[in-house]
Amino acid sequence: MNRIDLDGQVAVVTGGVQGLGLAIAGRLLASGAKVSLWDVNDEALGKAVVALGDGASARNVDVTDLPGLEKAHADVEREVGPVSILVNSAGIAGGVAPLDEYDPEMWRKVVDVNLNGTFYVNRVVVPGMKARNYGRIVNISSVAGKEGNPNLSAYSAAKAGVLGLVKSLGKELAGYDIAVNAVTPATANTSILETLTEEFIEYMRVRIPRGRFLEVEECAAMVAWLVSKENSFTTASVFDLSGGRTTY
């Protein structure tokens, strides 16, 4: 594993207690950063901090709760240090149904967590980054945000909205040495596969030219570079993690 130099950096990783978020947090720690995990699952937060070890801390906070996010950010800056890295990985898939049968309440919840939550988290960290004239932000989108997944209209729409936010915010902050980028993972090899039928797993796998699912470490490797000082030019961009399923 190449070691990206993140010495002296303080990172916030939302949704960092499992899957992609946990792998990203581990890679950032291995690269020298201190990492604060933000999640709503208090029990999982405690286990994740123990598993990650020195340099990891946690805040129980909901990404749809703007005052709670503001408090968590202030606490981290006071107790750990200025936040220079944000990886926003929190998200939910929501219900699976055709649009004409989709529960409106579930639609609102999926959009609130995946899109509004992304706005809130970014809004909280950006002022400090602007004041210090430095920052690195990666918002996790999805291959669904590029091409849409049938029966996942809310998730697909929200993740497409994340891409629009990234492109807009990256341009706003380009003059502050703040890079804002997105990654678009295809299905990852996580415990979520255990909840799906073999038929649906195969349906997703055959659409990936690599012939396999994304490993969480592969996502973490890309994100680690994106949040490093070496990424000094690219911003407002989308980095593909679909194994060739999408090429734009």
Name the residues annotated as catalytic: 155
Question: With contact defined as beta carbons under 8 Å apart, do 178 and 130 qualify?
Answer: yes
Angle CA(36)–CA(37)–CA(41) in degrees, nearest 5? 150
Tally of CB atoms within 10 A around 230: 11
Q: Which residues of 164-191 are buried (b: 16+ CB within 10 A; e: fewer)?
A: ebbbebbeebeeebbbbbbbbbbbbebe
